[in-house]
Each structure stands twice: as C-alpha cells, then as structure tokens.
Structure 1
Amino acid sequence: MSASLVLRRRLAGELRALRMQAGLSQETVAEYLDASAYKIVRIENAQSSIGMSDLRQLLALYKVDAETRERLIDLGRNARKRGGWWSSYRDVLPGPYVQLEAEASQLRNYEPSKVPGLLQTPDYAHAVVRASDPSISPEEADRRVTVRMKRQERLHEDDGPLELKVLVDEAVLHRYAGGPDVMRSQLEHLLHTSERPNVSLRVLPYEAGLYPAVGNPFAILTFAESVDPDVVLCENRVGERYFHDADEVAGFHADFAQMTKVSLSEDASVTLIKRVIAEMGG
C-alpha cells in the first residue's frame, strides 16, 4: 500500500513551516530554485511532489540541521513512491480521495440522500452509479463498483481497521435504488455492518427538523499521525472540493457533533431500519 499522498502532505507542511521560519517568501524560494512561484505554491499545498534535487536545495536554503535534513530527505523519497491498488483505476477516480481514505484511521461521513459508498452492496452501488450518469458504459460502471467494493476492505482489516462514523438522513432509508429487492438487501446489509465494533451508524430522523449542513454531504478524514491534519471532502455533480484549513475543518467537526446530538442512538437507528424493512413486506 502506498502512502505517497499523505506523506506528500506531511512534507509540504514541514517545508512551508521551514520557509516561514526562515522568513522567506515563496517568490524568493522560487528564484533560488530558478522556478516559478506557482511551482512552490503547488509543492507547499501538496498538489505536486518535489524532486530530490530541489528538496536538497531547499533544505540547504533553510539551513536545517543534519538530523532534520536526513529525516526530510527520507520522507521525500517515500512521498515519491507510487503504487496502491487504486493505481489501476485512475480512469474512474476523479481525485485523491481514495488515496487519503486508504491511509485514514477514522472517517466521519454524512449522507442526506444515499447510503455511503463504504456501506453499499454491489447491486445498490450499481444503481447509484447508473443514476448519477445514465450514459455510462456497463464496463465503466463495473469498474466504479469494483473500486467501491475494494474500498470497503478497510473496514475488515485485522490490523487497524478504519473507524467509520456515519450519519444518514432518514430519507436514505426510504429512497429506493435498484428496486425493492435491492433496497431490502441494502438495508439488511446496513444492519449487519453496523454490528462491527469499528462502525457506528446513526439516523437523522425527520423529527430532527433542520440541522447543520442539511442536504450537503461531507466526509471528514482523520489520520493516525498527529502531524497529518484532517481533510474534509465535499462532493457534488460538478466535482470534489477539499478543505484543509484548520478553522474550516473545525467547522465541519462542529456540524458533525451537533448532528450526532440530534440523531437517533445506534440502537434506535437499528430499530428504525428494521421497521422500514418490515414495512416493505416480502
């Protein structure tokens, strides 16, 4: 498994801190490397990797001590490594989310209209993929579903499985995807998966009324190492938007905490899901 993106973010943060500590502007650093300021911006935002030659030059410019130099050079080497199961699915992955999720230790996910990808059955996932893009080819739909199922392996790892906290609006339980049989199987899958100790599933009932972020799905990714800051993903039809700023991320944490307060307990959520299944008949 490759941790290149997470490590690149860590290196970017350290390089940005060293530059500021040295009292240098991005323009000054760019001139030193005979590069554009845009390149430095991308490196410090982890949007692109830094070459080892440039990294060594920057560490010399920032006058870091020998121990720090060796540590950051080693970090730079590891950050440039490529790989991971997702490499074979770059054509159906719009952004870096899957790489981040693969290295996260905890995920908080709010979904107002559909079951989160990590809890979807294959049939339900196919229905979601087809609904989001009716013109998609059967081959690409299969690849997208395969990625979704592959992601779910994080929940079942023996060593450090992903801790998943999910909030879904009650509407998710009533909005059929793929027909009654597919939906019934999906709801039963939710009951089964919610029994895992690393999975928390809670429903925001209609009675909760309006709440923070209502109707706007988001995911908060937290990492095991404290030096790796949380990331928030907001996704809609036009693409993905990521939030890294500490204050912005804190706002999403506050929303999730408030939404958790007005949601049903885990036991009450299970009871509601069972009731919905029973009302479906069959």
Structure 2
Amino acid sequence: MTQDIELGTPALCRLQLGVELRRLRCDAGLKSGQVAKRLRWSPSKLTRLEYGDNAIVEPEDAAMLCGLYKADTETRSLLVDYAWVTKTKQDRWTSTGEHPAVRPTIAAFVGLEASAAARREYEADYVPGLLQTEAYARAIHQTASKPYSPEEIELRVATRMSRQAVLYRAEAPLELFVILNESVLRRRAGDSAVTREQLEHIAEVSTLRNVLVQVMPFGLGVHLGMTGSFTIMRFGRSSVTRPIVYMENMAANWVVAQESIVDSYEHAFSELQVRAPGPQEAKKDDPRGNRGGLIRGYQ
C-alpha cells in the first residue's frame, strides 16, 4: 500500500500509469490472469500496478506491458516516462506527439482530470485552470516564480485551454463545483481588460448545468478553507482509481489518497458550500437570475 500523503510528481504519474495500463489491457481484450500468466507475474503484481498501489514502477515492466498490449509508440514512450518518474521522483521533459515539451506530471494530471467524474475545488488565490481564459493563464505564467520561456508559456496556456473540454463533453461532462475566496475576484491579473474578461468568463461557465461556482466573501469571517487551496477528484463507478486530494504551493505539490483524509476534505468542502452564498443568493445580485450574479458584482 502506498503512503497516505505523497509528493505529487511521482504519485500523479503512478496513478495515471495504472489508469492507462488497465485501459490498454481492456482494449486488447485480455484478462488480468492471462497477462500475469504470459509474463510469469503473480496476479497481485498486475493488480497493484493497475490500482496505482506500487510506489515505484520499473520502466521495463511498463515497456513489457505496452508491448503485450501493442500500444503505439507515443503511448509507450509516455507510460515508460511515467514509470521513470515514479522511480527517480523527478519530472523530466518528453518529446512525443504534437506537443514537443510536455512534462509527464502535467500529462498525468490532465489524464486523471479527464477520467474524473467529479471535481471539488476551493481556491484562495487564483482562478482555477478549468475556468481560466487564455489571457489570464498567460498573465499568471508570465509572473510565475519559475521563469518560463515564451514558447513554454504558450504550450502551458494551450494545454490549460484544452483541459477545459471536460466541461463540455457530450457524455458525462465533468461535474465541477468551485468555491472561490473573494480575493480571487478582487486580485488583478494582467490589465483591467484581462481581469474583466476573466470575470465574465467565470459568470458564463457557471451557467452550465454541471458547473457551480460560489464565492466566499470576506465578510463571513474565518472558515475551513483558510488552511489553503485544495482539489478533490472522484472517479466513476467503473474506475478502480481511488478518490484523491491534490494540493500545491511554490515548492511542491502533494496527493492524498487515504480515505479518511479525503473524507475530511469532502466534509470541509461541504461546510464551505453551506456558508458561501449559493445560486439563490446569486439571483438577488443579477436581475436575469444567472448563477454568475455574485461574480458579476465584482466586475
């Protein structure tokens, strides 16, 4: 069993590696017992890999499975990179497909997000990536603690924009509930035009049936979100991926998978939802009755 709280770099790669290996096996029409027999592995070894329970995955094991499943070159390269990250605990650049410079950790996070059924997020400082405009995303990357080249900024912005497709899927779009600290809406990113466009975008996206955005006003005083931003991801019933909590700061990021801790964050988010003004209060601030009324009040 893996640790309860782990550095996000290897944890995200390990979890997404498990998701991809299970998908490849199912696409190949193979049962886990058949795979274990062909590779002369114990059945539990493959199960641990697919559940993401092994803290370290040998790149050779990932390569063997990709060969057995007849994965294409791009997929094989990425999954072997995931395994290397679990072993070295270091991210690295990879060069595959249409994106010449995508870190495995970024690819892993995007993959997990795409396979998630629901996402709950409290954000204290930034607009969440799934709600950002291109201009806002560009502005925050230009002022990041780690300097990025113009090319890397554009790649990161493009990746962030592509992630938002999960909100508009025809089948089972991601259920996104977000609570923003009031400071997120008051803090300018870029010039006033960028900030206004961003607020209008949040208000627009919040009208989607699968999206709910609430604001935690300063006037409500102290609350459970004051320990920092966090994201909870839960996966579909058919998925073997366990719910996780994701957190990050300037120095590092972390993944929490222990059920009791994940439940405590779910409880905290529920408490924040109760305290933050909801859709009914939003209608009071918007004569059209849109759920983005509270956000429009900050424009």
Same fold (TM > 0.5): yes
Distance 1:43 1:195 in 2: 36
1:201-235 Cα shifts (integer Å, max 9, x gaps):
01111122111131511111111126431011101
Q: Tell me, in whole angstroms, the C-alpha distance in 2 between the residues paired with 1:210 and 1:243.
A: 24
Give 2:242's match in structure 1, choosing from 229, 234, 249. Answer: 229
| Structure-2 change in CA distance of 1:254 and 1:141 (3 Å) | same
C-alpha distance in 1 between matches for 2:130 and 2:149:
23
Identity over the aligned pairs, expressed in percent?
A: 32
Paired amino acid for 2:271: Q
Q: 1:48 aligns with which of 22, 41, 57?
A: 57
Given that residues 110 and 166 in structure 1 are in contact (C-alpha distance below 8 angstroms), is that contact kept between their aligned partners in structure 2? yes
Is it true that 1:271 corresponds to 2:281 in the alignment? no
Scaled by the length of structure 1, the TM-score of the pair is 0.70
Aligned equivalents of 1:169, 1:181: Cα separation in 2:
21
Counterpart of 1:200 in structure 2 is: 212
Secondary structure of 1:105 counterpart: strand
Query: Which ranges of structure 1 fall in alignment gaps of 5 or more residues?
Result: 11-31, 34-39, 56-75, 278-282
- Larger C-alpha radius of gyration, 1 or 2? 1
Rate the CA distance shift 1:248–1:122 in 2: closer, same or farther, 3 A.
same
Q: Which residue of 2 aligns with 1:139?
A: 151
Letter in 2 for 1:214: M
- The letter for the 2-side match of 1:129 is H
Q: What is aligned with 2:139?
A: 127
User: 2:123 matched to which residue of 1?
Assistant: 111
| Cα contact 1:119–1:193 (8 A) shared by 2 | yes
Which residue number corresponds to residue 44 of structure 2?
A: none
1:164 equivalent in structure 2: 176
> Does structure 2 conserve the Cα–Cα contact (< 8 Å) formed by 1:4 and 1:79?
no
SS in 2 for 1:165: strand
Range that drifts further, 218-227 or 144-153? 218-227
Q: Match for residue 183 of structure 1?
A: 195
Deviations 1:184-206 (A, max 9, x none): 00000011101110111011111
What is the CA-CA distance between 1:239 and the residue it aligns to? 1.9
For residue 268 of structure 1, report the CA deviation from its aligned partner. Answer: 3.1
- When residues 216 and 43 of structure 1 are mapped into structure 2, their CA distance, relative to the original with a 3 A threshold, is closer
Amino acid at match of 1:275: G
Residue 52 to residue 275, structure 1, CA distance change in 2 (3 Å): closer
TM-score (norm. length: structure 2): 0.67
What is the RMSD computed on CA atoms of the aligned residues?
3.6
Q: Which moved more, 1:45-54 or 1:115-124?
A: 45-54
Compute the displacement of 1:77 (Å): 4.8
Q: How does 1:29-68 map to 2 (within 5 A)?
A: 44-45=53-54, 47-48=56-57, 51=61
- 1:6 shift after superposition: 2.4
Task: Report SS of the residue matched to 2:222.
Answer: coil
Q: State the 1:266 CA deviation.
A: 2.6
1:232-269 deviation digits (Å, cap 9, x = unpaired): 11011112100111111111111111111111103434
- How far the C-alpha of 1:150 sits from its partner, in A, is 0.6
**Is the contact made by 1:89 and 1:143 (CA closer than 8 Å) also made in structure 2?**
no
Q: Is the 8 A contact 1:52 1:77 kept in 2?
A: no
Contact 1:9 1:46 survives alignment (8 Å):
no
Given that 1:92 and 1:140 are in contact with CA atoms closer than 8 Å, whether structure 2 keeps it comes out as no
Partner residue, 1:73: none
Q: Which one-letter code corresponds to 1:120 in the other structure? A: Q
Consecutive unaligned residues of structure 2, counting only runs of 5 or more, are 1-15, 24-39, 42-47, 80-95, 283-291
Question: 1:13 — aligned with what?
Answer: none
Per the alignment, residue 13 of structure 2 pairs with none
**Equivalent of 1:101 in 88, 109, 113:** 113
Task: Tell me how many residue pairs correspond in the alignment.
Answer: 232
Alpha-carbon distance in 1 for matches of 2:188, 2:55: 39
Distance 1:79 1:242 in 2: 28
Tell which deviates more after alignment, 252-261 or 219-228.
Answer: 219-228
In 2, the alpha carbon distance for the partners of 1:86 and 1:165 equals: 32
Q: Deviations over 1:112-170 (max 9, x none)?
A: 01110000000000011112246211110001101100100111111111111111101
Pair 1:91 & 2:102 matched: yes
